[in-house]
Amino acid sequence: MVEIEIIGVVGSGQMGSGIAQISAVHGVDVWVHDTDTAALSRASKSISDSLHRLLSKGRLSQSGATDALRRLHYTSNLEELRSADVIIEAIVESEEVKKSLFRKLDKITKASAILASNTSSISITRLASATSRPHQVIGMHFMNPPPTMKLVEIIRGADTSDETFRTIKTLAERFGKTIICSQDFSGFIVNRILMPMINEAFFALYTAVATKENIDLGMKLGTNHPMGPLELADLIGLDVCLSIMKVLYAGLGDSKYAPCPLLVQYVDAGRHGRKCGIGVYNYSKASQKPNPTPRL
C-alpha cells in the first residue's frame, strides 16, 4: 500500500481548501494548485482563519495549527504537484474539464501516484479512461464543508485496483472520516438521493405550492433536516446542483431527474447561491437571509 506523505489538491475553492486543511491538520504536506492566483490567496486566508477559529475553540493546539500552516504550499504551476503521492481534484463539475486535467496529471505525476476525484456525480470509469493508469484512479467524494462533515464517499471505477482502494480508504480514515462505498453509477449514493429532493423543492417553489421560507421550514421542522433544501442548494451552489441533475438525467435516463425550469432559470441569471451573494435567497440584504443552521 502506498504511503501518503504529500497530497496535491487541484482547485482552491471551498471544497479544495477544506480538503487541503484536513490533510495538513492530519500531518500530510499539501500542495494546493489553482490557475487563479487571487483564488489561491483567498484559500490561504480562509484556511488560516479556519485554523485560528479551531484554535480559539480549543479544538486544535497552537502547535497543531502552526504545523498545519507550515505544511501548506500554494502554486499556480501544475508541475509542482509532480512529487505528490495522491492528487485530489476539486474543480468544476464538468466531465471534459476533469478529463483534461487528468490527462495533464497523468503526464506530470510519478508512476505510483493515485489520481482521486472529488466529483459528486461523474463516472470514475470515464475519468480514468483519460489516463494511462485507470487502476490508480478513484472517486473520493468529501461532503461540504470538508473539515466539518464526517462522511467520505469512495467510488471505484471499472479498473480501480484493490491497492488503490485500500490506500484511499486508509487515508480517509486517517482524516477521521466515516466511509461509504458506492458503485460507479451517476450521482453515486448521496447525490442520487439528495439532488432529486432539492430539485423537487424547486418544483414546489416553481408551481407556487409554498414560499421558499415555508418549504425550508417544513423540511427542517417536519423531517429534522438541519437545513432546508433551498438553503442547502444555495450553500452547494445552484450551478453545481444543476450540473449534477444533468448528469443524473443523462446517465440514468429517467424523467424524474429532469432539472426544474426554475433551477435552470436561476443559474442562467447568474444566481448561483451564497458564493455570489444571491441564489434562492438574497444574501446581500440581511433582512432576506434565511436563519443559518450549521451542517454538523
Q: Using one digit for the tens of pLDDT, what is the confidence trace for 233-283?
A: 999 999 999 999 999 999 999 999 999 999 999 999 999 999 999 999 999
Annotation-wise, does 93 bind a ligand?
A: yes
Q: How confident is the model at residue 285 (pLDDT cuts 50, 70, 90)?
A: low
Annotation-wise, does 15 bind a ligand?
A: yes
Residue 288 has pLDDT above 60, yes or no: no
Instruction: Give the whole-angstrom CA distance, residue 76 versus residue 40.
Output: 8
Residue-wise pLDDT for 161-199, tens only, equals: 999 999 999 999 999 999 999 999 999 999 999 999 999
Residue 93 has pLDDT above 60, yes or no: yes
Which of these is catalytic: 33, 89, 118, 141?
141
Annotation-wise, does 50 bind a ligand?
A: yes
| pLDDT (mean) for 46-66 | 95
The reported pLDDT for the residue numbered 289 is: 46
Among the residue ranges 22-36, 54-68, 138-152, 281-295, the one predicted with the least confidence is 281-295
Which of these is catalytic: 23, 44, 117, 120?
120
Nearest to 15 by CA among 281, 236, 285: 236
Annotation-wise, does 62 bind a ligand?
A: no
Which of these is catalytic: 89, 117, 121, 153?
153
* Residue 26 annotated among the catalytic residues of the structure: no
Element (H, E) at 265: helix 261-268
Nearest to 25 by CA among 54, 56, 4, 45: 54
Residue 295 has pLDDT above 60, yes or no: no
Annotation-wise, does 12 bind a ligand?
A: yes
Nearest to 9 by CA among 61, 52, 71, 54: 71
- Prediction pTM value: 0.90
* Residue 120 annotated among the catalytic residues of the structure: yes
* Residue 191 annotated among the catalytic residues of the structure: yes
Annotation-wise, does 255 bind a ligand?
A: no
Residues in CB range of 42: below 8 A, 6 or more apart: 12
Instruction: Give the whole-angstrom CA distance, residue 194 versus residue 113.
Output: 32
Residue 100 has pLDDT above 50, yes or no: yes
Instruction: Give the whole-angstrom CA distance, residue 57 versus residue 243.
Output: 37
Residue-wise pLDDT for 132-165, tens only, equals: 999 999 999 999 999 999 999 999 999 999 999 9
The reported pLDDT for the residue numbered 258 is: 98
Residue-wise pLDDT for 194-223, tens only, equals: 999 999 999 999 999 999 999 999 999 999
Q: What are the two backbone dihedrals, phi and then psi, of residue 285, each rounded to the nearest 5 degrees?
A: -125, 115
Residue written as cell 472529488? Answer: 118
Question: What are the percentages of helix, strand and coil residues in the chain, rounded to 5?
Answer: 50, 15, 35
Q: How confident is the model at residue 3 (pLDDT cuts 50, 70, 90)?
A: confident
Which of these is catalytic: 191, 199, 231, 272?
191
Instruction: Give the whole-angstrom CA distance, residue 112 versus residue 115.
Output: 10
Annotation-wise, does 58 bind a ligand?
A: no
Taken in order 214, 217, 221, 227, is the CA torsion positive or negative? positive
